[in-house]
Structure 1
Amino acid sequence: ALGERASRVYSLVGGAAYVIVALAGLALEMGELLLGLLPVNAVDTILHGALGAVGLAAWAAGPLRPRAGARA
């Protein structure tokens, strides 16, 4: 129960964070520095977008309601 909820929250937060990083990478031109520290390139942007999509898909694939017989 708590483990399932925690893993869903982790998937949601992690997936959303990676999507935000991917969108930031798309907003900048290739070779620019993100936050003045990290260089932006296409491979990183694609990887972050894919990781974000997988995280959000894992969150969405979780149970929407408690199983029959499960305690609330």
Structure 2
Amino acid sequence: MTRQTPTGARQDARLTHQSADTERVLGQIERGEVRAGPEAAREIAAKAEAAYGAAWATDRAWADALASLTDTTSKDCRS
């Protein structure tokens, strides 16, 4: 899985080298030991919601209050 530079070729700084962890995780995905992708993410989210409750606010006022905390267009409170 690591990209090899041909013998005699100049090193290109743009080439990336995968870490041992990257190779391990990609191997686990290929072998089916772990799942990745949108369907797996939906299943994980459903299990977490069943175990811990909804992650997103269903109350409109509460959702608006949370959104205002991350609003990048609002004025800086320190000024």
Normalised by the size of structure 2, how large is the TM-score? 0.25
Q: Which has the higher strand share?
A: 1
Normalised by the size of structure 1, how large is the TM-score? 0.26
Instruction: Between the two structures, name the one with larger relative contact order (CA 8 Å, sep ≥ 6).
Output: 1
Q: Which has the higher helix share?
A: 1
